[in-house]
Chains A and B, each alone.
Chain A
Amino acid sequence: MSQAAEPMQTVHAVTQTPYKWGFSTDIEMELAPKGLNADIIRLISARKEEPEWLLEWRLKAFAAWQAMAEPHWAHVAHPPIDYQDLHYYAAPKRKPGPASLAEVDPALLATYEKLGIPLKERAILAGVEPAEGEGAPVAVDAVFDSVSVATTFRATLAKAGVIFCPISEAVREHPDLVRKYLGSVVPQGDNFYAALNSAVFTDGSFVYVPPGVRCPMELSTYFRINARNTGQFERTLIIADVGSYVSYLEGCTAPQRDENQLHAAVVELIALDDAQIKYSTVQNWYPGDAEGRGGIYNFVTKRGACRGARSKISWTQVETGSAITWKYPSCILQGDDSVGEFYSVAVTTNRQQADTGTKMIHIGRNTRSTIVSKGISAGRSDNTYRGLVRIMPKAAGARNHTQCDSLLIGDRCGAHTVPYIESRNPTARVEHEATTSKIAEDQLFYCRQRGLSEEDAVNLIVNGFCKDVLKELPMEFAVEAQKLLAVSLEGSVG
């Protein structure tokens, strides 16, 4: 195994860029004490000038969290997390970053190059400090540029009536919407990490698409540039009103630097009658080194409610990063004839652990769900698909199809499939197919005989394996995702 070639281990877990939205860089705040208690939550709420109801909401979440225990049912292992040893209200630590791209680790830059990340974005991603005065490095342009680009996008969106802003801003500007929907899909006490997030979430995105509006752009470029440092307890709320459509892209294919080891985000989606939400994620946080040191713990709760009739929520994810991924984007199919989809590629290499899947809860009549999960394990990693399909008594005519495939590279990795099926309506139809395969020696030899290098052969085979999922991604993202798979698996064969 030529694991020295693995590029991700060169990504250091530090971040330098300051928060963009609504945060002062007050020294006092950066020194906010470690630990979590009601006073800290009051401080957070006060600093963000939140209304009383939101403070009460947070405190309720905190009370729920205190009564809960960290879950241990997932097929992952990590040292205990001391939740009192974290800062819950501190802007990310402002350690001095590299002053220009010339000071950034060449291996990291090589990775950006391979991924085809635009030059200006590379500096932002690498955490280059914007310099002041003359001889400003590329980062300054990039930052200025991104701000202006963002502004342009916001104007276009506003014209269509789409609200797209930081959730902290939405709390101030659109309190009725936030109050109505926040926690309506993932309640404060839903699970340990969601409760923690509800108590202390710092920021995230808010989207509202008014009735009948088709959001005029993929909410992607904007996000890619702006949402890098929404913090470790990110909160996203997306509402698609009657007959509307929105496609939202989260994340970035470039390896992202981040000093926070624990990430516990919450994403809530709400689709009303005939509305559609397409939510795509490419997650590539620091996975730790070859020995499993460092790396992000990604414990995220993502859930969508198909509240209206004929509504549709589609989750697509490409997960290549993080030391541990604990993630089950789910759909609650309440409206009659509503549709839930989950398309997932999860790649684990070295010592990474991923326990991911989905939940499809069929409540309304003739609700349909599709699950396509592709797990790829290499090195000494562990990759688990965990999925629940629950058909409630009133969900007459409900249908689910699950396709769950695992691909193993090498013989020291693991793939596990844990499907749960609960059907309480006799008219429902639930299908589950699962396969596990290895990249076969004869496939590699066949490709090499035709002239492909071993790595190109692996990429081709892996991309073929993932095709059903990658085709669900918006075009420009799909191309990046393909490259990302190649970079992630570099050096995992041979």
Chain B
Amino acid sequence: MLQIKGLTASVEGKPILRGIDLTVPTGEVHAIMGPNGSGKSTLSYVLAGRDGYEVTGGTVTFDGRDLLAMAPEERAAAGLFLAFQYPVELPGVGNANFLRTALNALHRARGEAELDAVQFLKLARAEAKRLSMPDDMLKRNVNVGFSGGEKKRNEVLQMAILRPRLAILDETDSGLDIDALRIVAEGVNALRGPQNSALVITHYQRLLEHIVPDRVHVLAGGRIVRSGGPDLARALEEGGYAAVVADAA
């Protein structure tokens, strides 16, 4: 589904990604772990197409299409979703309204029928219930006055409603208590299926106890320095990044 080859990127002229090679096949969940400053968030922003993250080399294909040539909203329409590390507040914009606008934009781009307010609310309430989130989360303004944990859960709710082909979670677990962590994990696990993939970016291993990945990659200094099975995550937790990074160097 996702193929990254020799990807290099810089931010404000400073090289961050120094040649990433990564393939996420359809139906698999991959984790990217790495120390702070290794380029994890930069990778997620580059994949989502954020301004200011300049691709200087390499290719990324998504379902065979040139991802880097697409606008952010086109990537979304193609099925790419980014759960933000720091979800953004939209004052005055109701969560339900925002989500319905987004869902209908995706449907429109894909030539599918749009949902009216009643249909949408039915869907949104069902998803909120499944993720043990209170209904009033839908009524509140997007992320305004949300606690850190609520913001992350709201990202997962959006993901559940928008049903992406590829979900990228950028440190969605940071700052979460164990209950919230489980909800996030359930959200990702619910999306798992033969047609969906996920790229879970995390600093800690604990999320990966709930979302058991097919592959784990270690990102350091802008490169994937090691890849392995779920055991690699546990080894990292025990030995720390330093040993792994030093080994690879």
Known A448-B71, A452-B102: A442·B88 in contact at CB below 8 Å:
yes
**Alpha-carbon distance between A261 and B150 when the two chains are bound, in angstroms:** 53
Known A449-B48, A451-B102: A460·B93 in contact at CB below 8 Å:
yes
List the A residue with the shortest CB-CB distance to B87: A446
**Alpha-carbon distance between A442 and B84 when the two chains are bound, in angstroms:** 11
**Alpha-carbon distance between A466 and B93 when the two chains are bound, in angstroms:** 10
Pairwise interchain contact A452-B101, C-beta atoms closer than 8 A:
yes
How many of chain A's residues touch chain B, expressed as a range?
20 to 34
Instruction: Type the 1/0 row for A426-457, where 1 means its CB is closer than 8 Å to any CB of B.
Output: 00000000000000111101111111111010
Known A441-B51, A451-B102: A463·B93 in contact at CB below 8 Å:
yes
**Alpha-carbon distance between A211 and B98 when the two chains are bound, in angstroms:** 45
List the B residue with the shortest CB-CB distance to A441: B51
**A57 partner residues in chain B, CB cutoff 8 A:** none
Pairwise interchain contact A443-B90, C-beta atoms closer than 8 A:
yes
**A451 partner residues in chain B, CB cutoff 8 A:** 73, 76-77, 102-103, 105-106, 109, 162
Pairwise interchain contact A445-B50, C-beta atoms closer than 8 A:
yes
Task: Give, as a whole number of angstroms, the nearest-CB distance from B196 to chain A.
Answer: 17
Pairwise interchain contact A464-B84, C-beta atoms closer than 8 A:
no
How many of chain B's residues touch chain A, expressed as a range?
20 to 34
List the A residue with the shortest CB-CB distance to B75: A449
**B102 partner residues in chain A, CB cutoff 8 A:** 447, 450-452
Q: How many A-B residue pairs have CB under 8 A?
A: 78
B205 interfacial contact with A, CB 8 Å? no
Known A442-B88, A464-B91: A448·B141 in contact at CB below 8 Å:
no
Instruction: Type the 1/0 row for B96-120, where 1 means its CB is closer than 8 Å to any CB of A.
Output: 0111011101100100000000000
**A443 partner residues in chain B, CB cutoff 8 A:** 88-90
Task: Give, as a whole number of angstroms, the nearest-CB distance from A2 to chain B.
Answer: 15
**Alpha-carbon distance between A467 and B75 when the two chains are bound, in angstroms:** 30
B166 interfacial contact with A, CB 8 Å? no
Pairwise interchain contact B72-A466, C-beta atoms closer than 8 A:
no
Pairwise interchain contact B72-A448, C-beta atoms closer than 8 A:
yes
Pairwise interchain contact A453-B105, C-beta atoms closer than 8 A:
yes
List the A residue with the shortest CB-CB distance to B78: A451
**Which of A448, A461, A468 is the most central at the interface, judged by chain B CB atoms within 10 Å of its CB?**
A448
**Alpha-carbon distance between A456 and B108 when the two chains are bound, in angstroms:** 13
B197 interfacial contact with A, CB 8 Å? no
Known A446-B84, A450-B162: A464·B93 in contact at CB below 8 Å:
yes
Task: Give, as a whole number of angstroms, the nearest-CB distance from A280 to chain B.
Answer: 20
**Alpha-carbon distance between A61 and B75 when the two chains are bound, in angstroms:** 65
Pairwise interchain contact A449-B72, C-beta atoms closer than 8 A:
yes
**Alpha-carbon distance between A453 and B102 when the two chains are bound, in angstroms:** 9
List residues 392-412 of chain A with CB under 8 A from any CB of chain B.
Answer: none
Task: Give, as a whole number of angstroms, the nearest-CB distance from A166 to chain B.
Answer: 39
List residues 155-187 of chain B with CB under 8 A from any CB of chain A.
Answer: 158, 162
B131 interfacial contact with A, CB 8 Å? no
**A454 partner residues in chain B, CB cutoff 8 A:** 73
Task: Give, as a whole number of angstroms, the nearest-CB distance from B77 to chain A.
Answer: 6
Task: Give, as a whole number of angstroms, the nearest-CB distance from B4 to chain A.
Answer: 18
**Alpha-carbon distance between A202 and B76 when the two chains are bound, in angstroms:** 56
**Alpha-carbon distance between A465 and B91 when the two chains are bound, in angstroms:** 6
Give the contacting residue for A446; candidates B49, B52, B90; CB below 8 A.
B90
Task: Give, as a whole number of angstroms, the nearest-CB distance from B72 to chain A.
Answer: 4
Task: Give, as a whole number of angstroms, the nearest-CB distance from A472 to chain B.
Answer: 14
**Alpha-carbon distance between A461 and B98 when the two chains are bound, in angstroms:** 10
B13 interfacial contact with A, CB 8 Å? no
Pairwise interchain contact A448-B92, C-beta atoms closer than 8 A:
no
B16 interfacial contact with A, CB 8 Å? no
**Alpha-carbon distance between A461 and B141 when the two chains are bound, in angstroms:** 11
Known A445-B72, A460-B93, A461-B93: A450·B158 in contact at CB below 8 Å:
yes
Task: Give, as a whole number of angstroms, the nearest-CB distance from A251 to chain B.
Answer: 23
**B48 partner residues in chain A, CB cutoff 8 A:** 445, 449
Give the contacting residue for B76; candidates A449, A461, A464, A468; CB below 8 A.
A449
**Alpha-carbon distance between A449 and B52 when the two chains are bound, in angstroms:** 15
Task: Give, as a whole number of angstroms, the nearest-CB distance from B166 to chain A.
Answer: 13
Give the contacting residue for B73; candidates A440, A448, A465, A467; CB below 8 A.
A448
Pairwise interchain contact B162-A461, C-beta atoms closer than 8 A:
no
List residues 444-494 of chain A with CB under 8 A from any CB of chain B.
Answer: 445-454, 456, 460-461, 463-468
B82 interfacial contact with A, CB 8 Å? yes
Task: Give, as a whole number of angstroms, the nearest-CB distance from B62 to chain A.
Answer: 14
Known A441-B51, A451-B105, A452-B105: A464·B72 in contact at CB below 8 Å:
no
List the B residue with the shortest CB-CB distance to A374: B92
Pairwise interchain contact A463-B88, C-beta atoms closer than 8 A:
no
List residues 367-389 of chain A with CB under 8 A from any CB of chain B.
Answer: none
Task: Give, as a whole number of angstroms, the nearest-CB distance from A356 to chain B.
Answer: 21
Known A446-B87, A468-B92: A460·B72 in contact at CB below 8 Å:
no
**B88 partner residues in chain A, CB cutoff 8 A:** 440, 442-443, 445-446
Pairwise interchain contact B92-A465, C-beta atoms closer than 8 A:
yes
Known A446-B87, A451-B73: A463·B92 in contact at CB below 8 Å:
yes
**B50 partner residues in chain A, CB cutoff 8 A:** 445
**Alpha-carbon distance between A354 and B73 when the two chains are bound, in angstroms:** 34
List the B residue with the shortest CB-CB distance to A443: B88
**Alpha-carbon distance between A262 and B93 when the two chains are bound, in angstroms:** 37
**Alpha-carbon distance between A450 and B82 when the two chains are bound, in angstroms:** 8
**A460 partner residues in chain B, CB cutoff 8 A:** 90, 93, 97-98, 101
Known A450-B158, A451-B162: A461·B90 in contact at CB below 8 Å:
yes
List 8 tightest A-B contacts by C-beta distance, closest first: A464-B92, A464-B93, A450-B102, A451-B76, A448-B72, A446-B88, A467-B92, A451-B105
In the assembled complex, 17 residue pairs joining A and B whose CB atoms fall closer than 8 Å, in A order, are: A442-B88, A443-B89, A445-B50, A445-B51, A445-B72, A445-B88, A449-B48, A449-B49, A450-B102, A450-B105, A451-B105, A451-B106, A451-B109, A452-B105, A454-B73, A460-B101, A464-B91
- For the complex with contacts A442-B88, A451-B109, 11 further pairs of A-B residues with Cβ separation under 8 Å are A445-B88, A446-B87, A447-B102, A448-B72, A449-B48, A450-B105, A451-B77, A451-B105, A451-B106, A463-B92, A464-B93
